[in-house]
Structure formats: C-alpha cells, structure tokens
Chain A
Amino acid sequence: MKIKVIVTLKNGVLDPQGKAIQQTLNGMNFGNVEDVRQGKYFEIEVKEKDEKKAKSLVDDMCKKLLANLVIEDYKIV
C-alpha cells in the first residue's frame, strides 16, 4: 500500500528558499503571489494491507526520520 506524506516547515520558521521562489514568481509578473512555502513529498510503499496499520507505521517513520519536529510539521495524506 502506498502512503503519501507531506513535510512542511512550521509556521513562523524562516523559509529562505520559499522566499526566493516567491520573489522570482513576482519578477515573472505573477504579482499576486504573496507567499511561498517549500516542502517535501514522499511516497512510501508499505508491505501492509490494513490502511490504519500502514498509516500508523508511517507516522512513526515521520517522527523518527522523515521530519525534524524542531522546525517541520508532517501530514499523512
């Protein structure tokens, strides 16, 4: 079963790359872009048929490796 995870920076944590992307978009005449936050996306193939179990495994992976909870939040989608 494939589980998808999105890791983003927490609100309030400086995202210089997102800022640079926003400024570039503004420079390309996308003037209405007010903010960009960059994140990471993972597709994890888990050998598990039960969705609840698979998601709880991935949740553990997020806490232990995929996200650094000092600055990042994660969402299992």
Chain B
Amino acid sequence: MRSSVIIFPGSNCDRDMDVALKKFGFKNQMVWHNDKSIPKSDLIVLPGGFSYGDYLRCGSIASKSKIIKSVIDFANSGGLVLGICNGFQILTETGLLKGILQQNKFLNFICSNVFVKVKDKQNKYFKDLKKDVLELHIAHNEGNYFCSDDELKSLEDNNQIAVTYCGEDGAENETTNPNGAIKNIAGIFNKNKNVLGMMPHPERMIDKYLSGEDGSLFFKNILDNFK
C-alpha cells in the first residue's frame, strides 16, 4: 500500500508518521507543501504539528496551500485521507470534514494518554478491528471539537463519528472528556468515510516497550482492509 505524508512548514509529527507507516509495510513518500502534485498513493496523511505557526486559525493557512488542491481532488475521488491532530484541523478548514477544533475548554495544552472508543467499523480504517477501546496519545491546545446542532445530527445519523474519548472501560462522560469536545468527539469521517480526521496520535503507539501497541493495530488494520 502506497502512502504519502504531506509536510507543511511547522509540521512536527511527519517523521514519526513516516517511521510508523514504514514499520508496518507501507511504501511511504514525503511530499512538500509547495509541490503541485502527489505521487501515486493509496493513502494520504496530513500529520500533526503547527502548520504555518497556527497563524490565523489552526490549519487555516495550510488549507489554502499549493498541495491542498491535489489532496481535495484525491479525497473527492474516494482516496483515503487521514488527518492526525493538526491534520484534522486542516481537514476541517478545507471543508472536507465538518465543524472546527476550538481551543481546549480549560485553556491548557494537553499531553497525555487517553482511551478512545471506536464508534463505527463500517469503513476502511476500523473494519474488523479486534478492539473497541484503544489507548492512544493526545498532544494539543485546540482539540475541542465543535459543530452546529444540525451538523451534529447529520454526523450521528450517518455514523460519521469515528472515535470518542472514553475511560478504559469505554465509559463516555464529562470526566473522560479531556478538552470539552461535544459528545466527547475525538475523530470524525466525511460522508463517504474515506476521509478520517482525529486528534489522537496512533503513530505514537507503535512500540510495546516505549508506549503501547494500539497504534500498531490501527495501521495494520488499514493494511489488512486494503488487501
């Protein structure tokens, strides 16, 4: 499976993502934001970081960068596009995903392990995933997902909510919500479920000695579903 990771000025999880993808057998290439086209890919990843210094709004400048038109065309033609953290913020600013990531409710930068519940498995990312609750890592200042009531209803009606913050036992409530996101939302899909944006970093959970391996499950699952 061929993948491309887009590097924006200020991206800082691009190398981690490259390491993770290659570890599980993706043929990965790095693509600079000023390039016009993307090499033939089965998956495009927008990595975490602080693209363009988070100027104006997180992800807003990146969403107008030169490479983005190719990403949008790829997504609209059904290609898999994964946005992690700042990548999620970029995807909402392009309009590929609904809503926006606002500043965390308690104004703090959060850097910790969290549990997320997989809410939908009828898609190429989570289909046949053996676990329902994953332990992943978050590190963000703007992860407080917000959208209008109408948009929330349509996300729920179409099963577009991908993952939600929860406890180790899967309980979703205010105490297991780190940043104030509505409905504990940690990640969502577009309507066709080929575009996934989420705040947690699976690429930081790929080593059983350093972190945990729930991120490994995620990447292996994408590969398994592609075969």
- List chain A positions with a Cβ less than 8 A from chain B: 13-14, 16-17, 20, 65-66, 68, 70-71
16 of the cross-chain contacts (CB-CB < 8 Å) are A14-B102, A14-B144, A16-B106, A16-B107, A17-B103, A65-B56, A65-B64, A66-B56, A68-B60, A68-B100, A70-B98, A70-B146, A70-B147, A70-B148, A71-B100, A71-B146
**In the complex the two chains form, what is the Cα distance from A2 to B105 in whole Å?**
36
Closest 7 A/B residue pairs (Cβ): A70-B100, A16-B107, A71-B100, A16-B103, A68-B100, A68-B57, A20-B107
Besides A13-B102, A14-B105, A16-B104, 12 other CB < 8 A contacts? Answer: A14-B102, A14-B146, A14-B180, A16-B107, A17-B103, A17-B107, A20-B107, A65-B56, A66-B56, A68-B93, A71-B100, A71-B102
Q: Is the interface of B mostly helix, strand, loop or mixed?
A: loop
Q: Which of B42-95 contact A (CB under 8 A)?
A: 56-57, 60, 64, 92-93
Indicate if the CB atoms of A65 and B60 lie closer than 8 Å.
yes
**A residues within 8 A CB of B60?**
65, 68
B62 to chain A, nearest CB (A): 12
**In the complex the two chains form, what is the Cα distance from A68 to B147 in whole Å?**
12
**In the complex the two chains form, what is the Cα distance from A68 to B100 in whole Å?**
8
Taking residues whose C-beta sits less than 8 angstroms from the other chain, chain B's interface range is: 20 to 34
**A residues within 8 A CB of B146?**
13-14, 70-71
Indicate if the CB atoms of A70 and B107 lie closer than 8 Å.
no
Indicate if the CB atoms of A70 and B99 lie closer than 8 Å.
yes
**In the complex the two chains form, what is the Cα distance from A20 to B56 in whole Å?**
20
- List chain B positions with a Cβ less than 8 A from chain A: 56-57, 60, 64, 92-93, 98-100, 102-107, 144, 146-148, 180
**B residues within 8 A CB of A65?**
56, 60, 64
**B residues within 8 A CB of A17?**
103, 107
**In the complex the two chains form, what is the Cα distance from A20 to B126 in whole Å?**
39
Closest to B100 in A: A70
**In the complex the two chains form, what is the Cα distance from A31 to B153 in whole Å?**
40
Closest to A71 in B: B100
Closest to B93 in A: A68
**In the complex the two chains form, what is the Cα distance from A68 to B102 in whole Å?**
11
Indicate if the CB atoms of A16 and B100 lie closer than 8 Å.
no
**In the complex the two chains form, what is the Cα distance from A71 to B100 in whole Å?**
8
**In the complex the two chains form, what is the Cα distance from A16 to B146 in whole Å?**
13
**B residues within 8 A CB of A71?**
100, 102, 146
